[in-house]
Structures are given as structure tokens and as C-alpha cells.
Structure 1
Amino acid sequence: MSNNTFNACRRVDGFTLLEVMIALTIFASIAIVISGTTSQAADTLLTLENKTMASWVAENRLAEIRLSHETPKVGTTRDTVDMASREWQTLTTVISTSWPGVVRVTVDVSLESEPDYILVSLATIMGEHG
């Protein structure tokens, strides 16, 4: 058998450069998708945590108003609250209603660092205690 025939029949083991490049591209694409999904899940978890704590801040503010046993005065007040090592901004808005002695109280809560992004808004109706 000649040397040329032997080389033509010899089986080549391993991957070609093209196969390796395709495999790397596939693995890189999968890694990017997994990384993006993980990042999105972490962002969602943080948002849910912030909304839960913001609702506690709003509920606490409404409880404080109710426990004062006075009908709040019409107007707007802005306060800063510290809860769970975070600064929260509350915007309490009291507006009159068509019924005498009854007001609508709305508490909007946002992070102090993002005051324009309201996480939670709670409202209630309050009247004179009799």
C-alpha cells in the first residue's frame, strides 16, 4: 500500500476548528440567556421586597393617623421614614369629600432615593369620631 493511500484512509479524531467555534457560540448564547434570566429574577425579587415593605410603611402611616383619634386636616404632608435599613418617603394627601366631617386620606410611598417612583398607594375614608 502506498503512502498516499494510507493517508487518505486514515481516520481523523477530534473536532475541526469550525465545530469548536460553533460549540463555543452555542455555549456562549446559553450562558447569556441564563445570566439574563438570573439577573431579571433578582430584579423582580428586589422589586417585590420593596413593594412589600412600602405597603407596611403606608399601613403604618394610616394606622398612626387612625390612632390619633382626630380627623386629619385637608392638605399634603411629606415625611421620611426609616424601615429595614432603608429610607422611605411618604406623601400623605387629605382631601375633603361631599360629606361634612369625612375626608379621603391617601398615602403614597416611594424610596427616598427614587421619590418619583411610587411603589404603593393606599387610601381610606375617615370621619369624625363620635
Structure 2
Amino acid sequence: MKRAQGFTLIEVLIALVILATALTLGVGSVQRTARTLGALEQRLLAHWTAENAAVEEQLRAASATNDENTPGEPVTRRTTVTQYGTAFVVASRYTPGATGTPGALRVEVAAQAQPQRALVSLELPVPARP
């Protein structure tokens, strides 16, 4: 008696189990990649926000009179900024230097959903005014 051509039910089930396992692993990999890209996008937007805040503080410091920026007296600001639909909390601290000495600027940016966890932190010197 001749054996029938084709696959048995067991062979088909084994092939389906292998295929389902491979697809499950592939979906998990895609999910991890999507999470990583989301976090990268958030950090990039936070960095842009920090750079913008740093430039604003530098301009504010450059245009301030000597009376407004007493050397050693830090100026702290906390604002909320939205970049591309994402809300960030920006905390900046500017410490003016004495005449002829550069000041120091620190800018931290966190997501509004987690304000205690800074995504970006910048520390910059602010050029001294004559």
C-alpha cells in the first residue's frame, strides 16, 4: 500500500507552533524598539528645550543691569514648556559672576509626568560682562 502524499496533522501543528513562537519574538522586538525610539524622541526634545532655555537665560543675563545681577546671588526659574505636544518642566539656575568673571548657568529639563527625574542637564558658563 502506498503512503498518501502531503503533510500529516502533527507536522502542520509543529510548523504552526514554530511560526507562532517566531512571530511572538518578532513582536516583542518591535515593541522594545518602539519604546526605545519613544524615549530617544523624548530626550531629544528635552535637549532642544534645555538649549532654548539656556539661550534665553544667557540673553536675559546679558541684558540685565548690574543691579539686577548681584554677584553670587543665584536666580532660579521654573517654567513649563511644550515641544511638539510634549510638556516639559524647565528648571534653570543662573549664578552671576563678579565683574569680569563668567557666571554659571545650570538648566535641567524633566517630563511633566515625572518632574523629579531630569532627562537633560546642562551646565554652561555665561560670558562675563565688562
Scaled by the length of structure 1, the TM-score of the pair is 0.77
**Aligned match of 2:13 in 15, 21, 30?**
21
Root mean square deviation of aligned Cα: 2.3
Kindly tell me the number of residue pairs found equivalent between the two proteins: 120
2:35 corresponding residue in structure 1: 43
**Aligned match of 1:30 in 13, 22, 27?**
22
Moved more, 68-77 or 78-87: 68-77
- CA distance change for structure 1 residues 105 and 35 in 2, over 3 Å: closer, same or farther? same
Q: Does the alignment pair 1:87 with 2:62?
A: no
Give the unaligned 5+ runs of structure 2: none
The 1-side partners of 2:128 and 2:95 are apart by 14
The 2-side partners of 1:55 and 1:61 are apart by 10
1:120 corresponding residue in structure 2: 120
Q: Is this contact kept in 1: 2:50–2:121, CA < 8 A?
A: yes
The 1-side partners of 2:111 and 2:121 are apart by 13
**Letter aligned with residue 126 of structure 2:** M
Q: Is this contact kept in 1: 2:103–2:128, CA < 8 A?
A: no
* Greater Cα radius of gyration, structure 1 or 2: 1
**Letter aligned with residue 86 of structure 1:** T
The 2-side partners of 1:67 and 1:95 are apart by 14
**Letter aligned with residue 122 of structure 1:** L
Q: Is this contact kept in 1: 2:110–2:119, CA < 8 A?
A: yes
Q: Partner of 1:11: helix, strand, or coil? A: coil
**Letter aligned with residue 31 of structure 1:** L
Q: Partner of 2:81: helix, strand, or coil? A: strand
Per-residue Cα deviation, 1:13-49 (whole angstroms, up to 9, x for no partner)? 3322322221111111111111111111111211111
The 2-side partners of 1:53 and 1:102 are apart by 28
Q: Is this contact kept in 1: 2:91–2:108, CA < 8 A?
A: yes
